[in-house]
């Protein structure tokens, strides 16, 4: 069973937002953005072990955001 933590996610960086989900295995994080037409695009999902989002995960989400904006 997965339980969402928080309401609509929290702003992470620039146009990126973070949502958390708690499961038996630990707390998973998703980085997403809002797009036109009330769309939400999930850019990256991972298990966060510390307080800050690891730099490599944030960079990957930003790369994917750029790709989504191009299309």
pLDDT tens for each residue of 6-48: 555 677 778 899 988 887 777 888 999 988 878 889 999 998 7
Domain definitions of the chain by residue range: 3-70
Residue 1: the pLDDT is 45
In b/e form, how buried is each residue of 27-64, taking b as 16+ CB within 10 angstroms?
ebbbbbbeeeeeeeeebbeeeeeeeebeeebbeebbeb
pLDDT greater than 60 at residue 3: no
More confident residue, 12 or 64: 64
- Say what the pTM is: 0.77
**Confidence band, pLDDT 50/70/90 cuts, at residue 5:** low
């Amino acid at each position: 069973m997965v339980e969402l933590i928080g309401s609509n996610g929290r702003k992470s960086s620039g146009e990126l937002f973070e949502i958390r989900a708690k499961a038996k295995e630990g707390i998973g994080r998703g980085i997403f953005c809002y797009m036109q037409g009330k769309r939400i695009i999930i850019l990256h999902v991972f298990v966060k072990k510390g307080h800050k989002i690891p730099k490599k995960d944030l960079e990957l989400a930003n790369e994917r955001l750029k790709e989504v904006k191009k299309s």
